[in-house]
Structure 1
């Protein structure tokens, strides 16, 4: 096992008006360069059957700067990272094609879907000694809020826009933390809508449903947006208000997921969950509730924290988990509206979700006794949520 690992530290930036203009310009130019490089790759393959590499496109950057003087105001390594980002998208595309999965050919990015740029080799003293500013080449010293210290060797520095806010993401190489002490506990978890998590121990984690809670306010803002004239300043402000509320909902959900995942990892060595087809469930009449719960995001956070803590997370086929009795195995079919499980075989009576969680744990036990390992429920994911 490697002795070091990478960890990202995210901090709020407070740029001046002039710096905001520079940040917006940099993002816009990077987005245009990304689309131009994508078009170049497509054209080279369609016309000459040639596949361009990131190195090929990086060699042409001096010509781009000569033809378009505005690119002289963008750090050279930031522009090179755009080519590497596009190359990573193509490598993922070819890997999925080879594996027989849904390919997802790289797409052109609109301004709203390109929201970060990266300095791949930042200075180690990019953050000032007093921790109040971070130096961004070609932009200047930007005020930063270090709400917690970061440590290790600084590897990359990414600047990300979220709504009207700006953030710096410092990726550092740190010594791999020691695994948490063993607890000897194992738990199965059933994912739900009313209760986000129900454990085999009978614990319930309520789901506050942040999107449903914000629905009334969101409806008002969206109606206001629909009445504004396209291209007007008032429409732009209304659009910002809708985006701000969606961002608040996302953060509420992320906070809940982080706290739930930390609790499970600290208290258990072995965590079994149902490996749900979230994409399929998102096409049903329960789509809004399923997406509001954010099960995929929760499992990703759980796996990430478990890997660092030396815990094991395994996904189990969810078929019949809520219909089979965890004691005798008798299968009793009920509609989803029936929340209590009553077994006609042995007379067991308990909550339907607790019974499912106990089955999930029991069915994962053979892997535990044989020395199981962390299993990703959703191995194919887009770029980290920290980067656009």
Structure 2
């Protein structure tokens, strides 16, 4: 089982300066190595897909930079720029890994084939995290964590690491309100699915803008509409934000305050669902696409993407499951007989002409989501049992 714990750091003034300098040097190296990738891409691609009958000149192709070839240059980097010796070697080696992940996601896509946007160069203050890929547990003792090249830094330990868990990686992050350490923990003896996991204890939820979600058990939570309700207060807060210097910590703190209440609501809602159910079925929505419609402001206010991400992570840590199902037709299809009942968005009641059932539109959708989640979960269980 893998999980992560985050603690607040209390570095000295000197330690904070070292962390800031480390982040800035890593940012410069990230930009340099990303530029190498772009240079290779521009010099080796060609818009012409056929050879000329008169002349065919094929330029000499350059070797494609990769994680390992860029890591090999770091030895020379420390000779040319001795100040890079102040960074732990493994921390520096993580930079080419980040560059490769960002570049490959743009050209090839992730494991599901989904491509991300073109990687951007990091401006000052935009590179916020560095990672120690290896760490010894004894270096985290008595509310202090010993970080190579930085020293022993005070930690606010608000919860103890559970017995049996090993620290796999350590990440240092600079946020608007201070410095944080994130410990990636693993205990191979803890099963990824809890022993009393009940695949029949499933619920489907249909997220919306009137109700934040409607569940297949007919429970619902009203959308908090935090942005709408606090719009007058936020206008004043946003004015303060825009008056502040771009990139300043005060500006970041003002923005963070706007988002914290929404995130807290998402965590509490996810916890309440996971206390009742072992499996939660949700729609696999194209939230980025939906946010570009006329309902974009309300969709961003609801924060569906952040909620589903929090729900998924917390479910995995608890040995539970979140199943993402195909969203096509969940509102139109009758959850009782399967008849397609076309309706516009303003119609809030599902009336089936075939089986005569009358349901709340969102409840009908959540029942369909639950049914699809049940089907997909059984297929996954059968597939895993066959592979064993």
TM-score range, shorter chain: 0.7 to 0.9
Q: Which residue of 1 aligns with 2:21?
A: 25
Post-superposition shift, 1:149? 1.0
Post-superposition shift, 1:283? 0.8
State the Cα deviation string for residues 122-144 of structure 1 (Å, max 9, x = none): 3322222x22x222222222221
Q: Which of 326, 341, 365 is the matching residue for 2:335?
A: 326
Q: Tell me, what secondary structure is at the counterpart of 1:324? A: coil
State the Cα deviation string for residues 56-112 of structure 1 (Å, max 9, x = none): 222222322232233232222221111222223334345429976435343312224
Q: Which residue of 1 aligns with 2:196?
A: 181
In 1, Cα distance between equivalents of 2:259 and 2:3: 22
In 1, Cα distance between equivalents of 2:265 and 2:110: 35
Post-superposition shift, 1:180? 5.0
Post-superposition shift, 1:49? 1.9
Q: Which of 5, 8, 11 is the matching residue for 2:4?
A: 8
In 1, Cα distance between equivalents of 2:259 and 2:195: 29
Q: Tell me, what secondary structure is at the counterpart of 1:125? A: helix
In 1, Cα distance between equivalents of 2:324 and 2:275: 19
Contact 2:234/2:258 (<8 A) preserved: no
Q: Which residue of 2 aligns with 1:198?
A: 214
- CA shift in 2, pair 1:98/1:115, >3 Å: closer
Contact 2:27/2:122 (<8 A) preserved: yes
State the Cα deviation string for residues 248-288 of structure 1 (Å, max 9, x = none): 34333333333333333343344322222212211111112
Q: Tell me, what secondary structure is at the counterpart of 1:118? A: strand
Post-superposition shift, 1:371? 5.1
- CA shift in 2, pair 1:318/1:58, >3 Å: closer
In 2, Cα distance between equivalents of 1:97 and 1:268: 30
In 2, Cα distance between equivalents of 1:189 and 1:303: 13
Give unmatched runs, 5+ long, in structure 2: 45-60, 384-388
Contact 1:218/1:242 (<8 A) preserved: no
1:115 and 2:131 aligned: no
Q: Tell me, what secondary structure is at the counterpart of 2:272? A: helix
Q: Which of 334, 346, 356 is the matching residue for 1:337?
A: 346
Q: Which residue of 1 aligns with 2:157?
A: 146
- CA shift in 2, pair 1:67/1:242, >3 Å: same
Q: Which of 76, 84, 97 is the matching residue for 1:63?
A: 76
State the Cα deviation string for residues 213-234 of structure 1 (Å, max 9, x = none): 44434322433454x5xxxxx6
| Cα-Cα RMSD | 2.9
In 1, Cα distance between equivalents of 2:114 and 2:137: 40
Give unmatched runs, 5+ long, in structure 1: 229-233, 375-388
TM-score (norm 1): 0.81
Contact 1:210/1:249 (<8 A) preserved: no
Q: Which residue of 1 aligns with 2:55?
A: none
Question: Relative to structure 2, which stretch is displaced further, 206-215 or 163-172?
Answer: 206-215
Q: Which of 137, 159, 163 is the matching residue for 2:148?
A: 137
In 1, Cα distance between equivalents of 2:288 and 2:189: 34
1:271 and 2:284 aligned: no
Post-superposition shift, 1:210? 3.3
Q: Tell me, what secondary structure is at the counterpart of 1:273? A: strand
In 1, Cα distance between equivalents of 2:15 and 2:92: 19
- CA shift in 2, pair 1:14/1:310, >3 Å: closer
Contact 1:340/1:350 (<8 A) preserved: yes
TM-score (norm 2): 0.81
Q: Which residue of 2 aligns with 1:42?
A: 38
Matches within 5 A, 1:232-381: 235=245, 239-370=248-379, 372=381
